[in-house]
Amino acid sequence: MNPDSRKIRLILDLRRAGITDPVVSAAIERVPRHLFVPTAFAEKAYENTALPIGCHQTLSAPIVVARMTQALDLGDRMKVLEVGTGSGYQAAVLARLCRRVYTIERHPDLLREAERRFAALGLTNITARPGDGTLGWPEAAPFERIIVTAAAYDVPPVLAQQLAEGGIMVVPIDDGSGSQTLLRVRRGAEGLDTEDLGPIRFVPLIAARPTAS
């Protein structure tokens, strides 16, 4: 089965799994996931599974990317902050749906590879930098949307402060026992409202920035 056939099958699987937003499905269909995985895993790129990308990190399963993207309820004029660039796949999907993506990655080696992919795909509306994602990107705030691709133990307060009024943050939360829940956080005039979107699984959100290998 060629990559196009695998991609079509994946999109059908996502629809059956509850991804009902055709704009999100179209964005996922337009991003070549096989370019965001190590060569050894290229044959599995369009399977609905997480894949290793190095630095003890993983590329989330397509259903997780789709769930989180759909939960953001994106508009094409929005500015989005992503915490945890990884391979760059989630940012590439977001870039098809919004005006500008700001993405932060704590592993410089992963970030360099992601930026190379962005350039190869002509994704000029992504701005990336290495650093501590828990600190957000204050000079570019506020953001209409924030997506966190690692599990925190609570809604990160600095990121919440950088969320625009009326904005949405999607973040995995670990309850301390290893159980994780995906939350949708909305910032209203009187504070934050949270909505439980069900179980999920991510690597932990870590503040410290490692040195390049």
Query: What CATH number does the domain containing 76 carry?
Result: 3.40.50.150
**Residue 178 domain-assigned (yes or no):** yes
CB 83 within 8 A of CB 110: no
Per-residue pLDDT band at 212 (split at 50, 70, 90): very low
pTM: 0.93
**Residue 213 domain-assigned (yes or no):** no
Specify the amino acid at residue 32: P
Query: How many structural domains comprise the chain?
Result: 1
Tell me the catalytic residues. Answer: 60
**Residue 124 domain-assigned (yes or no):** yes
Domain that residue 67 falls in = 62-199
Rg (alpha carbons) of the chain, rounded to whole number: 16
Measured CA to CA in angstroms, residue 175 lies from 80, 171, 183 at distances of 26, 13, 12
Q: E strands, 84-156, where?
A: 100-105, 126-130, 143-148
Write the CB contacts of 2 (distance below 8 Å, at least 6 apart in sequence).
none
**Residue 15 domain-assigned (yes or no):** no
What is the pLDDT at residue 178?
Answer: 80
**Residue 112 domain-assigned (yes or no):** yes
32-86 pLDDT tens trace: 999 999 999 999 999 999 999 999 999 999 999 999 999 999 999 999 999 999 9
**Residue 87 domain-assigned (yes or no):** yes
**Residue 7 domain-assigned (yes or no):** no
**Residue 19 domain-assigned (yes or no):** no
